[in-house]
Structure 1
Amino acid sequence: MKALKPLMFFHSPPKFQCLPSNTAKLSISLFSSLSSPMKIPNPNGNSHLTDYLISTFKFTKTQASSISNRFSWVTSPEKPQSVRSFLRELGLSDTHIRSAVRGSPQILFSNIDKTLRPKLEFFQQLGLSSSDLASLISKNSTLLTVSLERKLVPCIEILKKILGNDENAKDLIRVLCRCNWVVRKDPESRLLGNIAFMESCGIVGSQLTMLLKRQPWLFIVQESVLRSLVSRVLEMGFLLNSRMLVHALYTVSCLRSGTISRKLDLLCIFGFSEDECMEMFRRTPGLLRTSEEKLKLGIDFFLNTVKFKKSVLIHTPWILMFSMENRVIARYRVLEVIKSKRLLKRDPTFYGALVLTEDEFLDKFISRFRDEAEVLLVTYKAHLLDSTQEEDS
């Protein structure tokens, strides 16, 4: 229906009997709105609510005014006070409540019995303790603003199936805190669609669980975004249904394109070809999540100090992800002492010592040499002693 021209009201009275009934009603309504006085918002906002928010939650005046202006119909702080008392009874501190209110101010004006209590009881039934519940609500209070039956229950049931049975619900809390998927339109459909796509790529079972824990937003992005990320990973040489695909997807989803290119360029600076760089990434997708500083230190140490050939790093790039101080350099120092004191008939290989577990290394290269064990242990833990001395000074 075309909009009526406002000028008609000034030239001649409208003949409503000639218009359809709905049009006549619209004309009367429009005429009434034009003749009614305009409501001018109060520039001072709701002073009672503003003062309450400032005194109770230590909001700044700007923050408090912003909230009170949104709820100008509130004439007293009675409702916010009752909500605060209710949340405190559940174990939330004023700090928790303040954080929750900043995220979703409307919870202060929610119906406790119809809106808040059912959702909070639902979370308690999942196994959340008082402290867990306080942490969850303070960080993601939007959970209290969505439908329990239409969004929370179906989505959380899906997540529980992926995460498996977790009695303390810690993993579920982390996922909920890191991703506000439940406030999106039709989250259940989005979740199921992305899960189905990832399973079609061979990401199933424990791999799906790992990805949900580490990168939950992948489960609620538009499927076109997810497909684009997977396509990019496939272009890098990974295969569908391979065990490394999920790790590559995780890495690519963590980093910007520029960051990935910059780190690959860094490898090239040390003499690795483009094909060798991509082979290192395919063998150890997590390599590119390593900081540039650590990559520089590691590659330089292995090539120039340990004198490894490049082929060692190409075929076992995961050693670049070891802690340089706690493991790589510390074990190198111990082996240098063992060589200098001729404690072994044959010098041990550094790579062999590097890949041992902590207990295996201590047993094979420190504990067995009773007369030198103390010296070797001090050498091994030298970096810890240095850091302690720096703190004391």
Structure 2
Amino acid sequence: MFYFLCKRILHGRLAVAASQSHKVLCVSKNNPSSLSSSLLGVSASLTFRCISSSSKKQSFTVSYLKKKCGLSSESALTAAKYVQFKTSDRADTVIAFFKNHGFSEPQITRLIKRRPVVLVSDVETTLLPKLEFFRSKGISSPDLVKILSDNPTILGSSLEKQIIPSFNCLSNFLSEEKIIDAVKRYPRLLSYDLNAVLLPNINLLLDNGVPECNIVTTLHSLPSTLMRGPIQFKDMVDGAKDMGFIPSRPMFMVALFAMSSMSKSTWKKKFEVFKKFGWSEKEAFEAFRRYPTFVRVSEDKFMAVMDFLVNKMGFQSLLIAKRPRILMMSLDKKIVPRGLYAQDLLSKGLIRHVNLQALLETSDDLFVEKFVNRFKAEASELLKLYQEKLNHSKNWKIG
């Protein structure tokens, strides 16, 4: 890109700008080969100067990204592959623009790290009109700042050709208020060609008997579910039906949401992890049918919860497969403190066994009522003990 040979034809003679003094190189008729060797020399000289110029520009850009934008050395070098500038005038204007519109320094850093080319955007013609459009739709400044820092790609999208048409398409299904909610939940929503993605997927769902209200609810609350290519989306719909989900029921859309959040390879890997604790494929699918979103739990989280409940607490692995919602619970705020507290009750002889549902699937108030206040004589001491378990579990480490 930066390597070029500056040539010009002057009155029938080939001339090349070879130095700062602009001397003209003339080719001798008696020695045509001199052209080749001379041009090689000039080309090498110009290439060196171009590389030097490019290196200086990149060095300046990297330094600016680190000092003014808060990027790490590694992030600055990566960003400099996408944007370079000789002076900081425009970049300074862009950063000042974001600060004036409520972006914090960490948010500006996050935005630039994700989309460094924004630093060479024209504030008046490119950035400001988009902010004004979103504000005209009722998006508050804090919400808008979060949306744009989470998905700065929007700032590179055409307002007339992409953002407004996408907003208009969504208005066929949602009110402006709910569109804003959907965009806040999934900032990439306005970056899609909705006519090519959303509409075919909605039609497919309707053809399969999914009620329109369930589709609209999903578009509002879980919009990423519907943002898959039509071919992939059809595979998901067919897969959910094959697993026994009924399209007319709300759980069908929840299953699609869970399936849409991972690739097929990740899906297979998850089920291999489930098998490590003795779940068969049938039992894993049964767990998915009961509570589809549990598959979104990371491998580390799954292993940690199962390790604590099975290896430390002594619960049967298949019992958790029948209550997969437990895997979504906080390890340090609920599972560990309640589990350790229950073990103390067992050691004191206050209870003979622990019911998994009563232990973990009750509200905080009901748990205290059943496991603390129930023992009137020891209630004060037990409440203090339970609080200690809550504090201790914040630093809990498995293994």
TM-score (norm 1): 0.66
Partner of 1:127: 138
Determine helix, strand or coil for the equivalent of 2:197: helix
Unaligned runs of 5+ in 2: 1-42
Partner of 1:140: 151
Partner of 1:386: 392
Task: Tell me: CA distance 1:123–1:270, structure 2 relative to 1, closer, same or farther (3 Å).
Answer: closer
User: In the alignment, is the contact (CA less than 8 A) between 1:159 and 1:172 conserved in 2?
Assistant: no
Letter in 1 for 2:242: E
Q: Give the drift of 1:153.
A: 1.7
Partner of 1:251: 258
**Structure 2 residue aligned with 1:277, among 279, 284, 291?**
284
Q: Distance in 2 between matches of 1:237 and 1:357?
A: 31
**Identical counterparts, % of pairs:** 27
Instruction: Map 1:158-307; keep pairs closer than 5 Å.
Output: 158-159=169-170, 166=177, 169=180, 171-176=182-187, 179=188, 182=191, 186-201=193-208, 202=210, 204-205=212-213, 208-210=216-218, 213-214=221-222, 216=224, 218-268=225-275, 270-292=277-299, 295=302
1:88 aligns with 2:95: no
**Structure 1 residue aligned with 2:325, among 318, 321, 325?**
318
Q: Give the drift of 1:299.
A: 5.4
Letter in 2 for 1:366: V
Task: Tell me: CA distance 1:151–1:232, structure 2 relative to 1, closer, same or farther (3 Å).
Answer: same
Q: Give the drift of 1:223.
A: 0.8
Please identify, of 353-362 and 291-300, the stretch whose mean Cα deviation from structure 2 is larger. 291-300
Partner of 2:380: 374
Partner of 2:363: 357
Determine helix, strand or coil for the equivalent of 2:250: coil
Task: Tell me: CA distance 1:374–1:171, structure 2 relative to 1, closer, same or farther (3 Å).
Answer: farther
Q: Distance in 1 between matches of 2:106 and 2:382?
A: 49
Q: Distance in 2 between matches of 1:296 and 1:51?
A: 47
Partner of 2:27: none
User: In the alignment, is the contact (CA less than 8 A) between 1:332 and 1:350 conserved in 2?
Assistant: no
Q: Distance in 2 between matches of 1:125 and 1:282?
A: 42
Q: Distance in 2 between matches of 1:189 and 1:256?
A: 21
1:118 aligns with 2:129: yes
Q: Distance in 2 between matches of 1:272 and 1:171?
A: 36
Letter in 2 for 1:240: P
Task: Tell me: CA distance 1:148–1:322, structure 2 relative to 1, closer, same or farther (3 Å).
Answer: closer
Please list the CA deviations of residues 183-229 of structure 1 after superposition, one character each: whole Å capped at 9, or x if unmatched: x5x4444232233334444275466545665562x433321111122
User: In the alignment, is the contact (CA less than 8 A) between 2:61 and 2:80 conserved in 1?
Assistant: no
Q: Give the drift of 1:314.
A: 5.5
Unaligned runs of 5+ in 1: 1-37
Task: Tell me: CA distance 1:309–1:129, structure 2 relative to 1, closer, same or farther (3 Å).
Answer: closer
Please identify, of 229-238 and 126-135, the stretch whose mean Cα deviation from structure 2 is larger. 126-135
User: In the alignment, is the contact (CA less than 8 A) between 2:185 and 2:221 conserved in 1?
Assistant: yes
Please list the CA deviations of residues 253-289 of structure 1 after superposition, one character each: whole Å capped at 9, or x if unmatched: 2334344344434555555544333222212223333
Determine helix, strand or coil for the equivalent of 2:134: helix
Q: Give the drift of 1:372.
A: 0.9
- Cα RMSD for the two superposed structures: 4.6
Q: Distance in 2 between matches of 1:275 and 1:91?
A: 52
User: In the alignment, is the contact (CA less than 8 A) between 1:46 and 1:68 conserved in 2?
Assistant: no
Please list the CA deviations of residues 52-95 of structure 1 after superposition, one character each: whole Å capped at 9, or x if unmatched: 774454777856865666x7xxx865544444444433233565
Task: Tell me: CA distance 1:241–1:389, structure 2 relative to 1, closer, same or farther (3 Å).
Answer: closer
Q: Give the drift of 1:373.
A: 1.2
Task: Tell me: CA distance 1:207–1:312, structure 2 relative to 1, closer, same or farther (3 Å).
Answer: farther
Partner of 1:153: 164
Q: Distance in 2 between matches of 1:107 and 1:374?
A: 59
TM-score (norm 2): 0.65
Letter in 2 for 1:227: K
Task: Tell me: CA distance 1:141–1:291, structure 2 relative to 1, closer, same or farther (3 Å).
Answer: closer
User: In the alignment, is the contact (CA less than 8 A) between 1:96 and 1:138 conserved in 2?
Assistant: yes
Q: Distance in 1 between matches of 2:350 and 2:197?
A: 63
Aligned residues: 345
Task: Tell me: CA distance 1:366–1:118, structure 2 relative to 1, closer, same or farther (3 Å).
Answer: same
